[in-house]
Every structure is written in structure tokens, then in C-alpha cells.
Amino acid sequence: MAPATRERIIDALRTVLARGGASAVTLEAVAAEAGLSKGGLLYHFKNKESLYAALLAESEADVVAQMASRMERMSAARAFLDFALPASELEAASTSALIAAVRADDSVGPDAAAALVAGFHRWDEPLLAEVADPVLAQTIRLVGLGLYLGSVAGIPVPDPQLLAEVTERLVRQAEATAPAAVPRGSGG
């Protein structure tokens, strides 16, 4: 499959999801958004389940890449919390709709829930591996998940100054309990 066509189809699925939720996702709607015929889409993806599987796999790969990039310049705790706020409204809307689809749409497929959970685990793996105190690691994880899921649900984030103070306090605590290592930059 041509990478550009595959990306265009997955981006179209993301856009249709963000715009209308899982109920708007039909093969016809995704094909039209991608600028293809339904037959052209079916040439690359045999059904909605395979479309969703590709989106979930790409989402997991994106999480891994974004966390690796952040980990090059900041601690795992800071990287985890930095990733907690979606980068765009499209990302928030499509993530919200994807979670809803995985939870409620039978056409997503039986492996989708496990793939969604795997993506979230790929996000927290570096944090849980680096922060030695398991209670603190889980506290940071829960704060990050709360920010992320609240944001994709449309719940306003806390005041930016307060959020920065929360982040700094958690990161300082995590870094104070971490074994001696090569220091990374403090920001992103």
C-alpha cells in the first residue's frame, strides 16, 4: 500500500471521527474525505475494523515516538505530564470519538479495546520505569490521565499557572527520588 494513500485514509478517518463521532464513520464517508472511491478505500482496508486497527496502531506508534522525543530532553515525569494535553482540538476530538467508538461500536472489532489500552500503557511505561516511588509514579500517572481524558472530554484544564505549579512539584518529587543518572534538560 502506498504510504501516502494509507496516511490519507487514516487522516480521513480521524477527521470523520472528530467531526461526527463514531456514528459518522462509514466506509463511504472515509473514502469521500480521503478523496477516494469506496472501492479505492476497500483496496487498502477491507472493512471498518481494519481501518480502526490501523488508526489504533498509528496512534500507539505516535505515542511511542512523541514520548521518545520528549525523553531525549526531559525526565520521564515531565515528559508524561507534557504529553497530557492534546496538541490540537482535532486530536482531542478524534481521541474522544475513538475512545467512544472502541467502547461502543461493534464494527471496531474485538481487539480494539486491547489496542487502545496498549497505547495508553506505551505512554506510561517510561514514567513507571523511571520513577522509583510507585505511589508517586501512580500519582503522576493519574494526574496526567486526568488531564488528558478531561481535555478530550472537553473539560477545561486548570489555570495554566496552577497547572505549571502542580507539574513542577510532581517533577521535583520524582527527580528527587530518582537514582543518579545523566541529567536532562528541564523543559520542552
Mean pLDDT of the chain: 88
Q: State how far the Cα of 162 lies from the Cα of 152, in Å rounded to an integer.
A: 20
Q: Would you kindly state where each structural domain of the chain is located, as residue ranges?
A: 3-177
Element spanning 54, H or E: helix 48-71
Element spanning 5, H or E: helix 3-20
- Please give the model's pTM, rounded to 2 decimal places: 0.82
Specify the pLDDT at position 74.
Answer: 93
The least confident of 13-22, 53-62, 147-156, 177-186 is 177-186
Cβ count near 141 (within 10 Å):
20
Average pLDDT over residues 142-160: 91
Element spanning 172, H or E: helix 160-177
User: Which stretches of 83-159 are DSSP H helices?
Assistant: 89-104, 112-130, 134-152
Confidence of residue 188 (pLDDT cuts 50, 70, 90): very low
Domain boundaries 3-177, corresponding CATH code: 1.10.357.10
